[in-house]
Amino acid sequence: MKTTLMVCSGDPEVVWNAFRMGNLMLEQMDDVTLFLNGPAVNYASMVSEAFPLTDLAKAFTLSEGVLLA
């Protein structure tokens, strides 16, 4: 299945959950594209101990997920 997730929020928890869902879908052998728009483009600046966004983004792209920003 091909899926595109679009994230337009600047809330770190929303972006974190989108990456988590994308990674879960990639584990199920789906084709996933994650499109970051608006404040979500700055996901690297939202990193905190509770929301390790760069780690999830790295896992997403290394698992052949497509990240568009």
- pLDDT tens per residue, range 13-40: 999 999 999 999 999 998 999 999 999 9
Estimate to the nearest angstrom the gap between the alpha carbon of 57 and the chain centroid. Answer: 6
Rounded to an integer, the average pLDDT of 43-50 is 93
Place of tokens 């988590």: 20
Estimate to the nearest angstrom the gap between the alpha carbon of 59 and the chain centroid. Answer: 9
49 membership: H or E segment, kind and range:
none
Q: Which region holds residue 31: left if phi is over 0, alpha if psi is between -120 and 50, else beta?
A: beta
Quick one: pLDDT at residue 60? 96
Rounded to an integer, the average pLDDT of 36-61 is 95
Rounded to an integer, the average pLDDT of 32-50 is 95
Quick one: pLDDT at residue 1? 86
**Percent of the chain beyond pLDDT 90?**
96
Residues 41, 18 contacting (CB under 8 angstroms): no
